[in-house]
Amino acid sequence: MSDYDCTLERRSDHEPALRLGLRLVNGLSRVAAARIVTARHQQPFVNTHDLAQRAALNRRDLAALAAANALVDIAGHRRAARWQVAGVEATLPLVPAQAVRESVIEFARQSEGEELVEDYASVGLTLGRHPLALLRDRLQDYRCSRELQTLRHGSAVQIAGLVICRQRPGSASGVIFVTLEDETGVANIIVWRSLAERQRRELLQAQLLAVSGELQREGEVIHVIAHRLHDHSHLLGRLVTASRDFH
């Protein structure tokens, strides 16, 4: 488990790594997170009963942690963690954690797609493969953002990605800038006012947006001038993503 905030740490190979903070766990209060951090600094948790007892967590807190896959080290994968959390009593006896026997029941692991959906629902991101990596076979007509580096100025291009940001600067005369994210990076899209007005629904509502347009280079900066927008959000199924819009 992490601290409340995200922290930058060194991995065993000395490469930098970002450890996600408890603040990202949907449904976990800041007070509960603080108790977890304090108790864990005293000594590591042995199991879910130990966690609930020493951090004074209620069923809702535990369920939020299980949903976020934050209990993998002490309870196993998400389904196993949920089962163990369901067995934790609201008021726990003050007995040594080692004396508490966890139920041993084998649960089938979730599919990669199921894990992905729950990761986004509980934390807003995934440490697994990017959603576009799972959909790439169905998006073969579209380039990855990394491939844009290899294209010439003026090339026709089709690209698809999750919408992570929409911006409309006051000085841009109605132009909207969209940032798309895929498994290889991000792509910057420019949508002129005329297209934005014609395809307002696709522009403002799509979670998975595909763009047909023209690649332009300005020094090291690469962007795509959109000619046509396509909403492929149906491919995401139950996956719900969020974007930062017009902030």
In this structure, are residues 189 and 224 in contact, taking their beta carbons and an 8 Å threshold?
yes
Listed residue (198, 199, 197, 194) closest to 210, CA to CA: 199
**Domain hosting residue 81, numbered range:** 7-122
> Would you mind telling me the total number of residues written for the chain in this entry?
247
The CATH code of the domain that includes 218 is 2.40.50.140
Q: Interior CA angle at 90 toward 85 and 92, to 5°?
A: 95
Bridge-based pairing of strands 244-245 and 156-167 is parallel
Bridge-based pairing of strands 221-231 and 208-218 is antiparallel
Q: Which residue has the tokens 């199924």?
A: 237
**Per the structure block, which two tokens stand in for 69?**
């896959």
Last residue of a domain, one of 105, 122, 139: 122
Sequential pLDDT tens for the chain (247 residues): 578 999 998 888 888 988 899 999 999 999 999 999 999 999 999 999 999 999 999 999 999 999 999 999 998 889 999 988 988 865 455 555 444 555 556 667 789 999 999 999 999 999 999 999 999 999 999 999 999 999 999 999 999 999 999 999 877 688 999 999 999 999 999 999 999 999 999 999 999 999 999 999 998 899 999 999 999 999 999 999 999 998 6
229 lies in a domain?
yes
89 lies in a domain?
yes
Last residue of a domain, one of 122, 149, 166: 122
